Amino acid sequence: MVGWTCMCRRRAEVPSPDIYLEITVMTNPSPHFFKTFEWPSKAAGLELQNEIEQFYYREAQLLDHRAYEAWFALLDKDIHYFMPLRTNRMIREGELEYSGDQDFAHFDETHETMYGRIRKVTSDVGWAENPPSRTRHLVSNVIVKETATPDTFEVNSAFILYRNRLERQVDIFAGERRDVLRRADNNLGFSIAKRTILLDQSTLLANNLSMFF
């Protein structure tokens, strides 16, 4: 069968219903792939779901229109912007697939270091983005989880980021974002307190990571 693989082991010559408990579907092999995100027990209300989805759509528009200072205003002072490294691991080592908080990472940013990146990308001497990239952020599969803290939400989403730069440079990134959002008194209604970016790629072929996810 195309698209998935299973391993079956027969414990007795006479098949029993228990044999089906030993089937491992490789497309969902380990709970470690969902390390820190706990699925909500119920879906968010339609109004809240729509509010957060609209926030993401407008955030994507800010990035794609290079309104970086307006986007930076959405980041809380205690922001942790984190993109771990991803490595190829055997199934039994699934918990080691991503680097941890104390390991090397593509991004491990605070509010201060993010401000430095914004200043660089908007200057005339940030050669990685001068001429600038043309990007398109697509966000989907938004799952909202309410937390014990009022007006604070854990949000899981999928993304595709397309980038074209100069004449021939094309990069496509896909992955998952795990955010902590807070209600805020701004035009978009929320601020970003934490963002963890889990790329689907283990090897990055792009020249740089000068864009924002």
Could you tell me if 135 and 163 are in contact, meaning their C-beta atoms sit under 8 angstroms apart? yes
DSSP character at residue 151: T
CATH of 36-199, one of 3.10.450.50, 3.50.90.10, 3.30.360.10, 3.20.20.100: 3.10.450.50
C-alpha span between 132 and 64 (Å, rounded): 11
For 147, phi then psi, to 5°, come to -115, 175
DSSP character at residue 58: H
C-alpha span between 179 and 37 (Å, rounded): 10
pLDDT at 31: 43
- Give the CB-side neighbour count of residue 199, counting CA atoms within 13 A: 23
| Chain mean pLDDT for the chain | 84
Return the domain boundaries, the chain.
36-199
Spell out where the chain has E strands. Answer: 6-7, 24-25, 75-84, 105-109, 134-146, 152-165, 169-183, 190-199
Look at residue 20 and tell me whether its pLDDT is greater than 70.
no
pLDDT at 198: 94
Could you tell me if 24 and 7 are in contact, meaning their C-beta atoms sit under 8 angstroms apart? yes
Instruction: Give me the torsion for CA of 95, 207, 125, 78, rounded to 10°.
Output: -10
pLDDT digits (tens, 9 = 90+) for 35-82: 555 667 778 899 999 999 999 999 999 999 999 999 999 999 999 999
Residue indicated by tokens 């007006």? 151
Look at residue 7 and tell me whether its pLDDT is greater than 60.
no
pLDDT at 127: 86
- List the single range of 25-29, 147-151, 160-164 with lowest mean pLDDT: 25-29
- 117's enclosing H/E stretch is helix 111-121
pLDDT at 25: 36
Look at residue 33 and tell me whether its pLDDT is greater than 50.
no
Picking from 200, 177, 205, the residue whose alpha carbon sits closest to that of residue 82 is 177
- List the single range of 3-17, 140-154, 157-171 with lowest mean pLDDT: 3-17
Cα distances (Å, whole numbers) of residue 210 to 84, 85, 91, 154: 16, 16, 32, 26
Look at residue 195 and tell me whether its pLDDT is greater than 80.
yes
pLDDT at 4: 47
Amino acid at 59: E
